[in-house]
Amino acid sequence: MSTFKRKFLTLVAEESSETLRGIASPGRIRILKLLRAQGPLNVNEISDALDLPQSTIATHVQVLERAGLIETETIKASKGQQKVCSIRYDEIIIRFDDEDPLKSKDHIEVSMPIGLYTSCDVSAPCGLCSTESVLGVLDVPDLFLDPHRMNASLIWFRRGFVEYKFPNNGKVLGAKIDRLEFVMELSSEVPGTSLDWPSEISLWINNVKVGSWISPSDFGDKRGLYTPQWWKLEGSQYGKLVTWQITRSGTSVNDVQISDVTLDKLELDKHHGIRLRIGIDETARHPGGINIFGRGFGNYDQDIVMRIHLKEQPGAKA
């Protein structure tokens, strides 16, 4: 299994003006690209590499640091001190959501395209495809980092995980969360196809494992309702729509309790984001792989959906 150490940042456009200002300059973009390619550099080294005045570089560095796009460290030099700069993220994704996720008074719903994972650690057999074609080359884990993954409508791998970062809009509203749900279409993954192929698929939220669900099959017996015609019939065609629900009393899958992990254990009020990790645990007794179906594949034309159900506040108006 290959571990990826690339760091990703997902921005919601309307909530990230400071960070967007940080990259709204050709000069600052050149600095980010230079740091990404060469690693940590001091202001003088950046100035020499880009053939720009040190004063200009120093100003850009201040903006990038304030935007949270670089880290700086002041260290001793042969004459005085120097500021060493290093990049924080390898890739930045900007989201433009059509719908206001805060419309509802009793719940918040966010739909996450399956290709917008922020980190991953997978092993072959693995692959991604859009509704039109396979993305890249099959069974090459490194290609899970390719930017074209954003077009993915189907993801599969034998071992490992993909992780998504959702906005914690409950914290933004200052509201008490009563229930947290994740809905996604899943199946096992087997080379070829097998209706009898159980796989133990696990879910983690903010690094807390909330439980596992056993997929009974890779469901390759018939074409999925939305699965495109070009997709081979020898592979997985659709999955089960699985609803993970975490409440004050425990965690359930499709209304069957699977663990005693509660909302309190997730400490959502301490985090601005909600990190969802889905995959095959290293200790799984049935490590039968995973398929994650998004829009345009499977039996349900949807991506990964998160619902935050808010607790009604005393005296709240209807």
Q: Is the pLDDT of residue 304 over 70?
A: yes
Which residue would you say has higher pLDDT here, 67 or 265?
A: 265
Look at strands 273-280 and 256-259 and give their pairing. unpaired
**18 φ/ψ angles, rounded to the nearest 5 degrees:** -65, -45
Residue 278 neighbours by CB under 8 Å, 6+ apart: 161, 162, 163, 164, 184, 186, 201, 202, 203, 204, 290, 292
In this prediction, residue 313 carries a pLDDT of 55
In this prediction, residue 296 carries a pLDDT of 93
**255 φ/ψ angles, rounded to the nearest 5 degrees:** 70, 10
Type of residue numbered 195? L
Write out pLDDT tens, residues 217-248: 999 999 999 999 999 878 899 999 999 999 99
pTM of the model: 0.69
Residue 230 neighbours by CB under 8 Å, 6+ apart: 132, 133
Contact 103, 281 (CB under 8 A): no
In this prediction, residue 20 carries a pLDDT of 85
In this prediction, residue 105 carries a pLDDT of 60
In this prediction, residue 316 carries a pLDDT of 46
Which residue would you say has higher pLDDT here, 35 or 234?
A: 35
Computed over every residue of the chain, the mean pLDDT equals 88
Q: What is the dihedral of CA 246, 249, 255, 258, to 10 degrees?
A: 80
**Percent above pLDDT 90 for the chain:** 67
Look at strands 8-12 and 91-95 and give their pairing. parallel
In this prediction, residue 66 carries a pLDDT of 85
For 167, other C-beta atoms within 10 Å of its C-beta total 22
Look at strands 91-95 and 119-129 and give their pairing. unpaired
Contact 72, 83 (CB under 8 A): yes
Q: How confident is the model at residue 297 (pLDDT cuts 50, 70, 90)?
A: very high
Q: If you average pLDDT over residues 43-63, what whole number do you get?
A: 92
In this prediction, residue 143 carries a pLDDT of 92
Question: Which pair of tokens denotes residue 78?
Answer: 């042969």
Q: Is the peptide bond before 147 cis (omega within 30 degrees of 0)?
A: no
Q: Is the pLDDT of residue 2 over 50?
A: no
Q: How confident is the model at residue 107 (pLDDT cuts 50, 70, 90)?
A: confident
Q: How confident is the model at residue 77 (pLDDT cuts 50, 70, 90)?
A: confident
Contact 120, 145 (CB under 8 A): yes
Q: If you average pLDDT over residues 252-270, what whole number do you get?
A: 94
